[in-house]
Amino acid sequence: MDIHKEIDTRGLNCPLPILKAKKALADMASGQLLKVVATDGGSLRDFQAFAKQTGNELVEQQTVGEEFIHVLRRR
């Protein structure tokens, strides 16, 4: 996967990971991939809802230890 931008939101709680992702996506071109690394367990469902609401595609979600990794494709 060709990640174009990665943001680290470890230690931040809802809604900060979503807000930072929204800001990062605004600066990206359509089709580019954004990787978000979070530690907030609620971010799994938060990013699913965010993708549905905004039309951005949630390409992948995975849990690695205590970290949650989300990959979004800019609409």
Cβ-in-10-Å burial (0-12, 13-18, 19+) of 43 comes to buried
CA nearest to 36, candidates 9, 75, 57: 9
Question: In this structure, what token pair is assigned to residue 17?
Answer: 């990971």
* Active-site hit among 7, 14, 16, 59: 14
Is residue 32 part of the annotated active site? The answer reads no
Give catalytic residues, as residue numbers: 14
